[in-house]
Structure 1
Amino acid sequence: MFIHEIEPGLALKLIDYQDTDRLYNLIHRSRTFLRRWLAWVDHTTKPADTYSFVDASLKGYVERKSLTTVILYDHEIAGVVSFHAIDWQNKKAEIGYWLGEDYAGKGIMPKAVSALIDYAFFELLLNRVEIRAAVFNKSSRRVAEKLNFVEEGTIRGAEWLGDHFVDHVVYGMLVRDWVK
Protein backbone atom coordinates (compact mmCIF):
# COMPACT_ATOMS: atom_id res chain seq x y z
CA MET A 1 0.00 0.00 0.00
CA PHE A 2 1.25 3.46 -0.93
CA ILE A 3 2.01 5.58 2.16
CA HIS A 4 4.18 8.69 1.93
CA GLU A 5 5.30 10.32 5.17
CA ILE A 6 5.60 14.08 4.69
CA GLU A 7 6.77 14.78 8.24
CA PRO A 8 6.14 13.16 11.61
CA GLY A 9 2.38 13.04 12.10
CA LEU A 10 1.52 13.92 8.49
CA ALA A 11 1.29 11.43 5.63
CA LEU A 12 -0.52 10.62 2.39
CA LYS A 13 -1.98 7.15 1.91
CA LEU A 14 -3.58 5.65 -1.16
CA ILE A 15 -7.30 5.52 -0.45
CA ASP A 16 -8.71 2.06 0.23
CA TYR A 17 -11.97 0.42 1.22
CA GLN A 18 -11.00 0.36 4.89
CA ASP A 19 -11.12 4.17 4.85
CA THR A 20 -14.82 4.29 3.94
CA ASP A 21 -16.36 4.72 7.39
CA ARG A 22 -13.74 7.15 8.73
CA LEU A 23 -13.95 9.21 5.55
CA TYR A 24 -17.75 9.28 5.62
CA ASN A 25 -17.73 10.33 9.29
CA LEU A 26 -15.31 13.16 8.51
CA ILE A 27 -17.54 14.37 5.68
CA HIS A 28 -20.63 14.09 7.89
CA ARG A 29 -19.02 16.06 10.75
CA SER A 30 -17.84 18.75 8.30
CA ARG A 31 -20.92 18.81 6.07
CA THR A 32 -21.82 22.49 6.52
CA PHE A 33 -18.17 23.54 6.25
CA LEU A 34 -17.55 21.53 3.05
CA ARG A 35 -20.90 22.22 1.35
CA ARG A 36 -19.94 25.82 0.61
CA TRP A 37 -17.43 24.77 -2.08
CA LEU A 38 -18.02 21.08 -2.81
CA ALA A 39 -21.21 20.14 -4.64
CA TRP A 40 -20.74 16.39 -4.03
CA VAL A 41 -21.24 16.81 -0.27
CA ASP A 42 -25.04 16.93 -0.62
CA HIS A 43 -24.94 13.67 -2.58
CA THR A 44 -22.90 11.91 0.11
CA THR A 45 -25.68 10.96 2.49
CA LYS A 46 -24.64 7.48 3.67
CA PRO A 47 -21.48 5.38 3.97
CA ALA A 48 -22.42 3.52 0.76
CA ASP A 49 -21.96 6.80 -1.15
CA THR A 50 -18.44 7.10 0.22
CA TYR A 51 -17.80 3.43 -0.58
CA SER A 52 -18.79 4.15 -4.20
CA PHE A 53 -16.32 7.07 -4.24
CA VAL A 54 -13.54 4.84 -2.87
CA ASP A 55 -14.39 2.15 -5.41
CA ALA A 56 -14.30 4.62 -8.31
CA SER A 57 -11.04 6.10 -6.97
CA LEU A 58 -9.37 2.68 -6.84
CA LYS A 59 -10.59 1.82 -10.34
CA GLY A 60 -9.22 5.15 -11.58
CA TYR A 61 -5.89 4.33 -9.93
CA VAL A 62 -5.70 0.85 -11.49
CA GLU A 63 -6.56 2.37 -14.90
CA ARG A 64 -3.92 5.10 -14.34
CA LYS A 65 -6.53 7.83 -14.79
CA SER A 66 -6.40 9.24 -11.26
CA LEU A 67 -4.68 9.00 -7.89
CA THR A 68 -6.63 9.62 -4.69
CA THR A 69 -4.94 9.80 -1.30
CA VAL A 70 -6.25 10.41 2.17
CA ILE A 71 -4.35 12.87 4.31
CA LEU A 72 -3.38 11.32 7.64
CA TYR A 73 -2.83 13.80 10.45
CA ASP A 74 -1.76 12.11 13.69
CA HIS A 75 -3.06 8.84 12.18
CA GLU A 76 -6.55 10.27 11.62
CA ILE A 77 -8.05 10.98 8.20
CA ALA A 78 -8.02 14.77 7.86
CA GLY A 79 -9.04 15.08 4.21
CA VAL A 80 -8.24 14.11 0.64
CA VAL A 81 -5.79 15.26 -2.00
CA SER A 82 -5.95 13.72 -5.45
CA PHE A 83 -5.16 13.86 -9.11
CA HIS A 84 -8.70 13.47 -10.38
CA ALA A 85 -7.67 13.66 -14.02
CA ILE A 86 -4.30 12.48 -15.32
CA ASP A 87 -3.65 13.18 -19.00
CA TRP A 88 -0.68 10.98 -19.93
CA GLN A 89 -0.51 12.15 -23.53
CA ASN A 90 0.00 15.76 -22.48
CA LYS A 91 1.82 14.88 -19.24
CA LYS A 92 -0.48 16.88 -16.99
CA ALA A 93 -2.87 16.42 -14.11
CA GLU A 94 -5.53 18.34 -12.22
CA ILE A 95 -5.23 18.29 -8.46
CA GLY A 96 -8.11 18.64 -6.03
CA TYR A 97 -8.16 18.75 -2.25
CA TRP A 98 -10.28 19.26 0.84
CA LEU A 99 -9.91 19.09 4.61
CA GLY A 100 -12.40 18.37 7.36
CA GLU A 101 -13.33 21.41 9.39
CA ASP A 102 -11.34 20.37 12.48
CA TYR A 103 -8.14 20.27 10.42
CA ALA A 104 -8.43 23.58 8.57
CA GLY A 105 -5.94 26.33 9.41
CA LYS A 106 -3.18 24.01 10.63
CA GLY A 107 -0.92 24.33 7.57
CA ILE A 108 -1.70 20.77 6.48
CA MET A 109 -2.91 21.34 2.94
CA PRO A 110 0.08 23.16 1.40
CA LYS A 111 2.34 20.35 2.65
CA ALA A 112 0.03 17.62 1.35
CA VAL A 113 -0.40 19.27 -2.05
CA SER A 114 3.34 19.89 -2.31
CA ALA A 115 4.07 16.22 -1.62
CA LEU A 116 1.63 15.09 -4.32
CA ILE A 117 3.12 17.58 -6.79
CA ASP A 118 6.60 16.18 -6.06
CA TYR A 119 5.17 12.76 -6.89
CA ALA A 120 3.69 14.08 -10.13
CA PHE A 121 6.90 15.67 -11.33
CA PHE A 122 9.55 13.26 -10.04
CA GLU A 123 7.81 9.88 -10.06
CA LEU A 124 5.09 10.18 -12.72
CA LEU A 125 7.29 12.50 -14.82
CA LEU A 126 4.46 14.89 -15.60
CA ASN A 127 5.12 18.37 -16.95
CA ARG A 128 2.14 20.31 -15.61
CA VAL A 129 -0.21 20.34 -12.64
CA GLU A 130 -3.37 22.47 -12.53
CA ILE A 131 -5.43 23.68 -9.62
CA ARG A 132 -8.91 25.07 -10.21
CA ALA A 133 -10.66 26.89 -7.39
CA ALA A 134 -13.83 28.92 -7.11
CA VAL A 135 -13.02 32.62 -7.30
CA PHE A 136 -14.28 33.29 -3.76
CA ASN A 137 -12.79 30.13 -2.21
CA LYS A 138 -9.95 31.98 -0.53
CA SER A 139 -8.63 28.95 1.38
CA SER A 140 -8.22 26.83 -1.74
CA ARG A 141 -6.71 29.70 -3.68
CA ARG A 142 -4.28 30.44 -0.85
CA VAL A 143 -2.85 26.91 -1.18
CA ALA A 144 -2.08 27.48 -4.88
CA GLU A 145 -0.59 30.90 -4.15
CA LYS A 146 1.57 29.64 -1.23
CA LEU A 147 3.03 27.05 -3.58
CA ASN A 148 3.79 29.73 -6.21
CA PHE A 149 1.38 28.47 -8.84
CA VAL A 150 0.81 30.92 -11.69
CA GLU A 151 -2.70 32.33 -11.93
CA GLU A 152 -3.52 31.73 -15.59
CA GLY A 153 -7.10 32.92 -15.95
CA THR A 154 -10.72 32.57 -14.97
CA ILE A 155 -13.31 30.21 -16.37
CA ARG A 156 -16.72 31.82 -16.14
CA GLY A 157 -19.64 29.72 -14.91
CA ALA A 158 -17.37 26.71 -14.48
CA GLU A 159 -19.33 24.83 -11.82
CA TRP A 160 -22.91 24.51 -10.62
CA LEU A 161 -22.72 24.77 -6.84
CA GLY A 162 -26.04 24.02 -5.21
CA ASP A 163 -28.17 26.79 -6.65
CA HIS A 164 -25.78 28.95 -8.66
CA PHE A 165 -22.79 28.89 -10.97
CA VAL A 166 -19.33 29.83 -9.73
CA ASP A 167 -16.35 31.00 -11.72
CA HIS A 168 -13.05 29.13 -11.35
CA VAL A 169 -9.55 30.55 -11.24
CA VAL A 170 -7.07 28.29 -13.02
CA TYR A 171 -3.57 27.98 -11.60
CA GLY A 172 -0.72 26.15 -13.30
CA MET A 173 2.67 24.81 -12.29
CA LEU A 174 5.27 23.44 -14.70
CA VAL A 175 8.00 21.06 -13.64
CA ARG A 176 10.65 23.60 -14.74
CA ASP A 177 9.21 26.16 -12.31
CA TRP A 178 8.71 23.83 -9.33
CA VAL A 179 11.12 25.07 -6.66
CA LYS A 180 10.72 24.25 -3.00
Structure 2
Amino acid sequence: MNKTFTNFKITSFDSNKYDDFFSLIDANRNRLEDFFAGTLSKTKTLEDTANYCKTIEQKVKNKSYFPFTIYDLNSNLLIGLVDVKNIDWSIPKAEIGYFIDINYEGQGVISKSLGLVIDYLLETYKFKKLLCRANSTNLGSINVALKNGFEFEGTIRRDYKTTKGDIVDLNYYGRIF
Protein backbone atom coordinates (compact mmCIF):
# COMPACT_ATOMS: atom_id res chain seq x y z
CA MET A 1 0.00 0.00 0.00
CA ASN A 2 1.20 3.47 -0.86
CA LYS A 3 -1.29 6.36 -0.74
CA THR A 4 -0.75 10.09 -0.49
CA PHE A 5 -3.09 12.80 0.79
CA THR A 6 -2.47 16.48 1.46
CA ASN A 7 1.20 16.52 2.57
CA PHE A 8 1.25 12.98 3.91
CA LYS A 9 1.92 9.46 2.72
CA ILE A 10 0.76 6.18 4.25
CA THR A 11 2.69 3.15 3.15
CA SER A 12 3.41 -0.43 4.12
CA PHE A 13 5.98 -0.72 6.90
CA ASP A 14 9.62 -0.80 5.74
CA SER A 15 11.70 -2.76 8.28
CA ASN A 16 14.88 -1.14 6.92
CA LYS A 17 13.67 2.19 8.31
CA TYR A 18 13.95 0.98 11.91
CA ASP A 19 15.76 4.19 12.86
CA ASP A 20 12.72 6.25 11.82
CA PHE A 21 10.49 3.88 13.78
CA PHE A 22 12.68 4.14 16.87
CA SER A 23 12.70 7.97 16.65
CA LEU A 24 8.89 8.10 16.45
CA ILE A 25 8.44 5.71 19.38
CA ASP A 26 11.13 7.36 21.50
CA ALA A 27 9.73 10.87 20.97
CA ASN A 28 6.28 9.67 22.07
CA ARG A 29 7.28 7.01 24.61
CA ASN A 30 5.68 8.64 27.68
CA ARG A 31 2.29 9.15 26.09
CA LEU A 32 2.23 5.70 24.43
CA GLU A 33 3.30 3.62 27.40
CA ASP A 34 -0.21 2.73 28.54
CA PHE A 35 -1.61 1.98 25.09
CA PHE A 36 1.29 0.38 23.15
CA ALA A 37 2.99 -1.55 25.95
CA GLY A 38 4.13 -4.43 23.74
CA THR A 39 5.68 -2.23 21.08
CA LEU A 40 7.40 -0.04 23.66
CA SER A 41 8.92 -3.04 25.44
CA LYS A 42 10.51 -4.18 22.17
CA THR A 43 11.86 -0.76 21.11
CA LYS A 44 13.85 0.45 24.12
CA THR A 45 17.04 0.93 22.08
CA LEU A 46 17.87 1.34 18.42
CA GLU A 47 19.30 -2.19 18.38
CA ASP A 48 16.13 -3.60 20.01
CA THR A 49 14.09 -1.78 17.39
CA ALA A 50 16.15 -3.20 14.51
CA ASN A 51 15.59 -6.72 15.85
CA TYR A 52 11.89 -6.07 16.41
CA CYS A 53 11.56 -4.83 12.81
CA LYS A 54 12.96 -8.16 11.58
CA THR A 55 10.24 -9.90 13.62
CA ILE A 56 7.65 -7.58 12.09
CA GLU A 57 8.93 -8.44 8.61
CA GLN A 58 8.33 -12.15 9.29
CA LYS A 59 4.85 -11.50 10.68
CA VAL A 60 3.95 -9.58 7.52
CA LYS A 61 5.15 -12.51 5.39
CA ASN A 62 3.01 -14.84 7.51
CA LYS A 63 0.02 -12.48 7.11
CA SER A 64 -0.37 -12.30 10.89
CA TYR A 65 0.41 -8.58 11.23
CA PHE A 66 0.14 -5.61 8.86
CA PRO A 67 1.75 -2.31 9.92
CA PHE A 68 1.46 0.91 7.94
CA THR A 69 3.55 4.03 8.46
CA ILE A 70 2.57 7.66 7.99
CA TYR A 71 5.17 10.12 6.72
CA ASP A 72 5.07 13.90 6.52
CA LEU A 73 6.11 14.59 2.91
CA ASN A 74 7.40 18.07 3.78
CA SER A 75 9.85 16.90 6.45
CA ASN A 76 10.14 13.23 5.39
CA LEU A 77 9.58 12.31 9.06
CA LEU A 78 7.74 9.20 10.20
CA ILE A 79 4.83 10.62 12.20
CA GLY A 80 2.42 7.76 12.82
CA LEU A 81 1.51 4.10 12.67
CA VAL A 82 -1.63 2.13 11.88
CA ASP A 83 -1.31 -1.57 12.61
CA VAL A 84 -3.52 -4.57 12.00
CA LYS A 85 -3.12 -7.40 14.50
CA ASN A 86 -4.90 -10.30 16.18
CA ILE A 87 -6.05 -11.45 12.75
CA ASP A 88 -8.56 -14.29 12.60
CA TRP A 89 -8.62 -15.46 8.99
CA SER A 90 -11.51 -17.87 9.63
CA ILE A 91 -13.98 -14.95 9.72
CA PRO A 92 -11.87 -12.82 8.61
CA LYS A 93 -11.56 -10.14 11.29
CA ALA A 94 -8.76 -8.13 12.89
CA GLU A 95 -7.95 -5.49 15.45
CA ILE A 96 -6.64 -2.11 14.36
CA GLY A 97 -4.38 0.10 16.46
CA TYR A 98 -3.02 3.54 15.65
CA PHE A 99 -1.12 6.51 16.96
CA ILE A 100 0.27 9.80 15.72
CA ASP A 101 3.18 11.93 16.86
CA ILE A 102 2.06 14.50 19.42
CA ASN A 103 2.98 17.35 17.06
CA TYR A 104 0.39 16.12 14.53
CA GLU A 105 -2.41 15.28 16.95
CA GLY A 106 -5.81 16.82 16.25
CA GLN A 107 -5.12 17.56 12.56
CA GLY A 108 -7.14 14.67 11.12
CA VAL A 109 -4.06 12.86 9.77
CA ILE A 110 -4.62 9.65 11.73
CA SER A 111 -8.36 9.63 10.93
CA LYS A 112 -7.66 9.95 7.20
CA SER A 113 -4.87 7.36 7.39
CA LEU A 114 -7.11 4.87 9.19
CA GLY A 115 -9.77 5.33 6.52
CA LEU A 116 -7.24 4.58 3.77
CA VAL A 117 -6.01 1.47 5.61
CA ILE A 118 -9.59 0.24 6.06
CA ASP A 119 -10.26 0.69 2.33
CA TYR A 120 -7.07 -1.23 1.53
CA LEU A 121 -7.93 -4.06 3.93
CA LEU A 122 -11.42 -4.43 2.50
CA GLU A 123 -10.23 -4.40 -1.08
CA THR A 124 -7.22 -6.66 -0.56
CA TYR A 125 -8.26 -9.06 2.20
CA LYS A 126 -12.07 -8.81 2.34
CA PHE A 127 -12.26 -8.45 6.12
CA LYS A 128 -15.79 -8.82 7.52
CA LYS A 129 -15.10 -7.10 10.85
CA LEU A 130 -12.52 -4.72 12.26
CA LEU A 131 -12.28 -3.68 15.88
CA CYS A 132 -10.45 -1.11 17.95
CA ARG A 133 -9.81 -1.23 21.69
CA ALA A 134 -9.38 1.96 23.67
CA ASN A 135 -9.18 2.99 27.29
CA SER A 136 -12.22 5.12 28.12
CA THR A 137 -9.88 8.02 28.95
CA ASN A 138 -8.28 7.97 25.49
CA LEU A 139 -10.77 10.32 23.86
CA GLY A 140 -8.56 11.02 20.85
CA SER A 141 -8.43 7.35 19.90
CA ILE A 142 -12.15 6.91 20.49
CA ASN A 143 -12.94 9.89 18.25
CA VAL A 144 -10.75 8.50 15.45
CA ALA A 145 -12.62 5.18 15.63
CA LEU A 146 -16.05 6.87 15.64
CA LYS A 147 -15.09 9.12 12.69
CA ASN A 148 -14.26 5.97 10.74
CA GLY A 149 -17.62 4.29 11.32
CA PHE A 150 -16.78 2.13 14.32
CA GLU A 151 -19.53 1.65 16.89
CA PHE A 152 -19.22 1.10 20.62
CA GLU A 153 -19.76 -2.59 21.35
CA GLY A 154 -19.03 -2.70 25.07
CA THR A 155 -16.43 -2.61 27.80
CA ILE A 156 -14.29 -5.62 28.62
CA ARG A 157 -13.25 -5.39 32.24
CA ARG A 158 -9.65 -6.00 33.29
CA ASP A 159 -8.63 -6.60 29.68
CA TYR A 160 -5.18 -5.01 29.29
CA LYS A 161 -1.99 -4.70 31.31
CA THR A 162 -0.19 -1.36 31.04
CA THR A 163 3.58 -0.98 31.22
CA LYS A 164 3.15 0.11 34.82
CA GLY A 165 1.47 -3.22 35.58
CA ASP A 166 -2.05 -1.83 36.01
CA ILE A 167 -4.83 -3.97 34.59
CA VAL A 168 -7.44 -1.72 33.00
CA ASP A 169 -10.82 -1.94 31.33
CA LEU A 170 -11.01 -1.37 27.58
CA ASN A 171 -13.86 -0.17 25.41
CA TYR A 172 -14.38 -2.17 22.23
CA TYR A 173 -15.44 -0.48 18.99
CA GLY A 174 -16.39 -2.57 15.98
CA ARG A 175 -17.16 -2.08 12.34
CA ILE A 176 -18.84 -4.73 10.25
CA PHE A 177 -18.61 -4.94 6.45
Partner of 2:78: helix, strand, or coil? strand
**CA offsets per residue over residues 35-80 of structure 1, 9 Å max, x none?**
2433232553201222233222211111111111111122321011
Moved more, 118-127 or 27-36: 27-36
Change beyond 3 A, Cα 1:65–1:42: closer
Alignment of 1:6-85 (within 5 A): 7-40=5-38, 41=40, 43-74=42-73, 75-85=76-86
Distance 1:139 1:53 in 2: 27
Which residue in 2 is equivalent to 1:104? Answer: 105
Partner of 1:155: helix, strand, or coil? strand
Partner letter of residue 49 of structure 2? T
Partner of 1:61: helix, strand, or coil? helix
Partner of 2:125: helix, strand, or coil? coil
Distance 2:113 2:52 in 1: 20
Distance 2:122 2:71 in 1: 22
Change beyond 3 A, Cα 1:169–1:84: same
Which residue in 1 is equivalent to 2:165? Answer: 163
Change beyond 3 A, Cα 1:88–1:163: closer
- List, as ranges, runs of 4+ consecutive aligned residues in structure 1 with deviation greater than 3 Å: none
Distance 1:16 1:43 in 2: 17
- Offset, 1:24: 0.6
Normalised by the size of structure 2, how large is the TM-score?
0.90
* Identical residues among aligned pairs (%): 27
- Offset, 1:86: 2.0
Q: How many residues align?
A: 173
Partner letter of residue 61 of structure 1? V
Distance 1:17 1:36 in 2: 24
Alignment of 1:88-103 (within 5 A): 88-103=89-104
Structure 1, unpaired ranges of 5+: 176-180
Partner letter of residue 54 of structure 2? D
Structure 2, unpaired ranges of 5+: none
- Offset, 1:104: 1.4
Aligned-pair RMSD on alpha carbons? 1.6
Partner of 2:170: helix, strand, or coil? strand
1:34 touches 1:100 (CA, 8 Å); kept in 2?
no
